[in-house]
Structure 1
Amino acid sequence: MDGIFNAVDQLFAGVVPISNFLWDFPTNYEWYASIPILGQYSLGILFLLGCGIYFTFKLGFVQIKGFKTGLKLLSPKRKKGETGTTPLQAFLISMGGRVGAGNIVGVTGAISLGGPGAIFWMWISALFGMATAFSEATLSQIFKEKKGNEYVGGFTFYIQKIWKNKIWVGTAMCVMYLIYNLLSIPVHTFHVFTAASSIMNVFVGRTTDVSEPAYYIIAAVIIVVIAVIAFGGIKNAVSFADGAVPFMALLYLAITFVLILLNLDKVPGFFAAVFVQAFKPQSIFGGVFGVTLANGLKRALLSNEAGMGTSTQASSIADQNHPCEQGFVQAIGVFVDTIVICSLTGFIVSAGAIWEDKNINWSEISLDKIGTFLASIRALVPGTKLDGTVVVIVALCFGLFAFTTLVCDLTYSEIAANKISQSKEFIRFIRVLGAFIFVPLGTLTVLAGLQLDNLWTVSDLINIVLVFINVPTLIIGRKYVIAAYNDYKMSKGKRFVAADIGVDSDVWTEEAALEKKAE
């Protein structure tokens, strides 16, 4: 088995330098890297950040003006229409994808490299990212399509429409996205195992080995549960998200607040470190302002997914009265992901400050993100019976973060696949690929003690390619976003008619608006 896996890994070895080059471009050129501050940022990061800044000012800080409206739209009392999901259900499934392992390991990594000051730049990035999320969610709603009693759409749909409705464009984007999403599945499966092993280690009081029977049981459970959810379709995934996402978020919030209450004396120091070190980082983190800035912005942009197009499928399935309404909702998603969840992780790592512990080899442990995070938790509850309990709860949250992202990857793949074909056979084929090929692949690599880094790099490569396509598409399609937002303000939220902004749609028709008014 090892030989087969290694052969697969080597097959994709040539992708690694290409992926690294695109993600780092043009910082991999000395003339650019030597530019103060700017030289720290790759084109991909500048695209994502620049897009957020553009829409923030172009739409007059829509993410702030529409925040209260977005909260009202998330009311659980809002009834579901005949087609699609409620705004809250669409929001929860998108949060299942946004709030993932990166909210723990990614934030820990950003602080390990840039210090607590990186958190400040996460907040700044999230502020602008909310405007991007509003824009791409609005486009997803404008160009969504009806399939039976469901809506389907997302960036694979609006990219085709915006690029002169060329079918091959939408199909090519869909194929790339499916490859990216399916190859991400084993990564999230690996994170689920990481969480499970951390929990087992606490209970048995030793480091467990992947060859032990418990790991095979975990692998079987993951495959079975995922298959049940996947073959139940979008509705099953929505039902799962309805229960799992609020539970994991509230559990993580609860345990973090417990840690805050136990360390109230460290709260002022945390905020001082965030604001001071945002501009004057400690020498242990390199002491370079640009490094802190870059790590904070990168982490937030990659965590909340604004501008990457990867959460737009969830935006399209909601039944809304106006496309901009889902834009307000999705902007709140970025806020919760970065300003709330990532900040709580940041508090744990910053307040723990294990880099100040002389008994810890910081240069070594900082390379292990999960190890750094768990060590930070222990530093906040030293010598108490809460030590093991808190680690177990946080590890459970980490596993749930990874598992819900796994479910979202499968669901997003199904929604996007409708761009190629809406036939039952093709959708079933996509479900089989995800549940019975890529999820088992993730479990087998863990059981074999391998990680297949080169295979995961293919996912990274397509990810940056999607950024280079999605962000320019958002800028080109800005006229639709601006027109829709102006229509929303003028009509005060009345049922949207696509023809009013020059768009053909089988969903947003005048007849549908009249029917809605008659209800």
Structure 2
Amino acid sequence: MSEFLDTLNGYIWSNALIFLCLAAGVYFSFRSRFVQVRQIPEMVRLMVKGEKSPSGVSSFQALTMSLAGRVGTGNIAGVATAIAFGGPGAMFWMWTVAFLGASTSFVECTLGQIYKVRDRLTYEYRGGPAYYLSQALAHTKAAPLFKIYGLIFAAVTVLACGLLLPSVQSNSMAVAMHNAWGFSTWWAGVGTVIVLAFIIIGGVKRIATFASIVVPFMAVFYIVFALIIVFTNASELPGLIQMVFASAFGADAAFGAIIGSAVMWGVKRGIYSNEAGQGTGPHAAAAAEVSHPAKQGLVQAFAVYVDTLFICSATGFLILSTGAYRVFEGESASGRVIAEGGALPSAVVEVGPAYAQIGFDTLWHGAGSSFIAISLAFFCLTTIIAYYYMAETNLRFLIGKAATNTVPLIRGTVGSNLTMVLQAAILISVMSGAVSTAAEAWTLGDIGVGLMAWLNIIGILILQQPAYKALRDFEKQKKAGLDPMFDPIALGIRNATFWENYDPKTGKDKVPAPSLS
């Protein structure tokens, strides 16, 4: 089975997907006139401003829900893996995919807002690629094809976010705790399952509240302490930056043989970390209460910067500046060692969170392992919670109108019963990931990310036009000194059924949603 999964992963993450991710980012950047640069001040302003309602969360909460999904083990173990198999140059390609991916994120997240709907059970906002893939062209002859496309994406997302991706997070968390405190990975898995069960059973609102409290705190705390380590080794920075750029293009003799690996691992781990184009961001974006879809598109574009340019960079420079790295030739740690920083012990050290733990230990001896273990506990837990929300959203899409039907001989509706099945499945995945090997967990995670990225990027390349209409409308209204309000009919955007019944001035539906009481 392990050999089969490795082969499947190789096909999914071929050079074609690497090219698709980079090319799509370049195309969206030019089409949006580099919105990821022009609108940075507006991104920051919108990040802290916004309304919430019984149906939707605030822009900031949606941002933190999105960051909860983006900021996870990819920011620590993922960066270590990219450096180990792609060399320091992989960091450059992580930055590249983040810069280009911010425009991709804007497009997908704006589409997520435009085509969001109300949940049939809770009347909360839901949306994402499955929704815009099935709705955007519903008025055309291609409607049946895209309806199937949306169903396929929803099924893949339930599989990826419900079963494949959580195992990577729980594995890194369990390994870090074992390295720091000697905990059995079994106990780490059981503890995670208990905490996770309490949060996800509370629904979207509890998820948003938890994320809005934990994510900003943990991100700032981690970045500050990582930068303290980096600035302690400030004299090394000029040489490290030169090494990153030189090895990214094969100009460094030590890493010239793995320039292709630098690109592949940089893009691969960059997308795993910031998720631009993967199709996860639009789920959180759709949950926000905003008067114009472009507002949340801009906020989510900024989330890519926070994830990669801030947090991943902090980890990368921490590992490089302390010398806590080894670079291998090939796709595994069994390959020949090309270069190493000298801080890792001569004994075999598994590629992953241990690299960051040893890096921290160079300044705070004995405390580094604990700090990384605690950071990963928060990072990974919030990511798993975000995965659950995305899996649940796509499960709702697959169920459709049947969600409110009652199940004969079983209490509750179809939707509530299948939700409990999904909750049980993700808890099992978390436990399984905690006790599996890192290689197995990462392979499953890469398969999930790759499948979603293929489907979503192709989809938004076809459906992108409404996102640009929304952007132009937003900028036109801002130039006129207005607080932008969205009217899809005036813009010629069809099938945005939620917005057609919504009055952004009052924040209420023209035809009120049914009461839950």
Alignment check: 8 A CA contact 2:193 2:430 kept: no
- Of the three residues 177, 180, 190, the one matched with 2:171 is 190
What's 1:143 paired with? 115
The answer to whether structure 1 residue 69 and structure 2 residue 42 are counterparts is: yes
1:407 to 2:385 alignment = yes
- Residue among 274, 285, 304 paired with 2:274: 304
1:396: Cα distance to partner?
Answer: 1.0
- CA distance change for structure 1 residues 96 and 230 in 2, over 3 Å: closer, same or farther? same
- Structure 2 equivalent of residue 54 of structure 1: 27
Instruction: Provide the alpha-carbon RMSD of the alignment.
Output: 2.8
**Counterpart check, 1:496 vs 2:466:** no
Give the superposition deviation at 1:511: 5.8
Q: CA deviation at 1:111?
A: 1.6
- Cα shift at 1:173: 2.1
CA distance in 2, matches of 1:321, 1:19: 41
1:402-481 equivalences under 5 Å are 402-421=380-399, 422-423=403-404, 425-444=413-432, 446=434, 450-451=436-437, 457=443, 460-481=446-467
Distance 1:194 1:425, change over 3 A: farther
Residue in 2 aligned with 1:117? 89
Give the CA deviation at 1:304.
0.9
Quote how far apart the aligned CAs of 1:81 are. 3.2
Deviation string 1:406-429 (CA, Å, 9 cap, x unpaired) is: 111111111222212343734433
Amino acid in structure 2 at the alignment position of 1:230: I
Structure 2 CA distance for aligned equivalents of residues 471 and 21 of structure 1: 17
What does residue 371 of structure 1 align with? Answer: 354
**Matched residue, 1:44:** 17
Alpha-carbon distance in 2 for matches of 1:452, 1:437: 20
Give the number of equivalent residue pairs: 472
Deviation, 1:318, is 0.4
- Cα separation, partners in 2 of 1:195 and 1:490, compared to 1, 3 Å: same
Report the residue type matching 1:182 in the other structure: G
Do the aligned partners of residues 85 and 284 (structure 1) sit closer, same or farther apart at CA in structure 2, a change above 3 Å counting?
Answer: same
Match of 1:229, as an amino acid? Answer: I
8 Å Cα contact 1:495/1:513 also seen in 2: yes
Q: Contact 2:294–2:470 (CA<8 Å) still a contact in 1?
A: yes
Name which of 148, 164, 168 aligns with 1:168. Answer: 148
Aligned partners of 1:346 and 1:68: how far apart in 2?
A: 27
Instruction: Give the secondary-structure state (helix, strand or coil) at the position aligned to 1:63.
Output: helix
Question: What's the secondary structure of 1:126's corresponding residue?
Answer: helix
Structure 1's unaligned 5+ residue stretches are: 1-9, 25-41, 202-207
Q: CA deviation at 1:281?
A: 5.0
Amino acid at match of 1:433: V
- Between the aligned partners of 2:373 and 2:296, the Cα distance in structure 1 is 32
Deviation string, structure 1 residues 301-328 (Cα, Å, up to 9, x no partner): 2221111112221111001111111110
CA distance in 2, matches of 1:435, 1:464: 23
TM-score of the superposed pair, with normalisation by structure 1: 0.83
- Percent identity for Structure 1 against Structure 2: 27
Structure 2 CA distance, aligned partners of 1:513 and 1:79?
11
What does the per-residue CA deviation read over 1:421-460, in whole Å, with 9 as the maximum and x for residues that have no partner? 343734433443343333234325645xx44966875654
Distance 1:456-1:397 versus aligned 2 partners, 3 A rule:
closer
Per the TM alignment, residue 342 of structure 1 is displaced from its structure 2 partner at its CA by 0.6
The structure-2 alpha-carbon separation of the partners of 1:250 and 1:458, relative to structure 1 and needing over 3 Å to count, comes to: closer
Tell me if structure 2 keeps the 8 A contact 1:125–1:297.
yes
- Per-residue CA deviations over 1:200-227 (Å, capped at 9, x if unaligned) read 14xxxxxx555xxxx43x4433222211
Greater helix share, structure number: 1
Alpha carbons 1:13, 1:454 under 8 Å: kept: no
Match of 1:509 among 495, 500, 513: 500
Corresponding residue for residue 34 of structure 1:
none
- Once residues 373 and 457 of structure 1 are traced to their aligned partners in structure 2, the CA distance between those partners, rounded to angstroms, is 21
Deviations 1:484-519 (A, max 9, x none): 11221223352101112231333212761454599x
Deviation at 1:363, TM superposition (A): 10
Of 63, 75, 78, 1:103 maps to 75
Query: Matches of 1:162 and 1:16 in 2, distance apart?
Result: 35
Q: CA 1:358–1:193 in 2, change beyond 3 Å: closer, same or farther?
A: closer
Q: Which amino acid aligns with 2:167?
A: P
**Deviation larger for 14-23 or 354-363:** 354-363
TM-score by length of 2: 0.83
SS of match in other structure, 2:304: helix
Structure 2 counterparts to residues 289-300 of structure 1, below 5 A: 289-300=259-270
Counterparts of 2:287 and 2:438, CA distance in 1: 34
Q: Is the alpha carbon distance of 1:347 and 1:79 closer, same or farther for their aligned partners in structure 2, counting shifts above 3 Å?
A: same
What does the per-residue CA deviation read over 1:149-202, in whole Å, with 9 as the maximum and x for residues that have no partner? 41100011011124544343332321221011111223322222123212314x
Distance 1:358 1:342, change over 3 A: closer
